[in-house]
Amino acid sequence: MSESLESSSIHPKIPIILASGSESRKQMLLEAGIIFEVIVSDTDEDKIKSQINSLPFEVQVIHLAKAKAVAVSKTYPDKIVIGGDQMCVLDGKLLHKPGSKEKAIKSLRLLANQKHYQYSGVSIFKEGECIWEYSETVELKMHDLSEGEIKNYVEMENPINAAGSYKFESLGCHLFSYVNGSSHTVRGMPLIPLLNALRDLDVIGLE
């Protein structure tokens, strides 16, 4: 098993740290075969959000992604540090992670049969400096979900820590009538632009 995993993994030329506790971001990097470690930043996100909430959402996610990465990069300056952030927005208002099943149900009631947006930002740091940043937006629309569908979904998936109260990488994909954009971005990280940046920076490659 270990030999199989090793042969299908990409060893970065510079060690990579993911400065995020997001299981979805971690899973995407694993799916891409990247070898990395996770060191979660202790950044006070709520404080930063209160300082930047007048900015466009696509700018806010970059600010937060960079704040997470820089804190870790200063401690590990010789490594590549990736920071990411995501915001779910309905009618110009941020939908926070629900934190409970009751709030998740309430959020999904608001989203049912409505268009909303997922904003995702990612940054790369080395030696405490940002060497790349990127943000992407996806437009989505949910089905006109019944109360039963909403409650059953929340009970099955328990999406209390998910932006938008759904996990698109699993059962959450059944909630949508259309998605205009990358599924990676909906999951919380624009993966292909990130991989391209790591390749351009000569951090990863297939040789």
Question: Rounded to an integer, what distance in angstroms lies between the CA atom of residue 32 and that of residue 49?
Answer: 30
Please state the φ and ψ torsions of residue 173, each to the nearest 5 degrees: -65, -20
85 assigned to active site: yes
Dihedral sign of CA atoms 118, 19, 48, 136 in order? negative
Of the listed ranges 15-19, 45-49, 129-133, the least confidently predicted one is 45-49
Do the Cβ atoms of 124 and 69 come closer than 8 Å? yes
Residues 21-63: tens digit of each pLDDT: 999 999 999 999 999 999 998 888 889 988 999 999 999 999 9
Q: State which H helix or E strand residue 199 sits in.
A: helix 191-200
Residues 107-123: tens digit of each pLDDT: 999 999 999 999 999 99
Question: Rounded to an integer, what distance in angstroms lies between the CA atom of residue 47 and that of residue 35?
Answer: 32
Amino acid 2: pLDDT = 28
CATH number of the domain at 2-200, please? 3.90.950.10
Tokens 């989505």, residue located: 140
CA of residue 48 relative to chain centroid, distance: 17
Give the three-class secondary structure for 55: coil
Percent of the chain with pLDDT over 70: 97
Catalytic residue, from 44, 78, 85, 202: name it: 85
Amino acid 98: pLDDT = 95
Q: Which two tokens stand for residue 134?
A: 């990127």
Residues 51-95: tens digit of each pLDDT: 999 999 999 999 999 999 999 999 999 999 999 999 999 999 999
Burial of 37 (C-beta count, 10 Å sphere; 0-12/13-18/19+): exposed
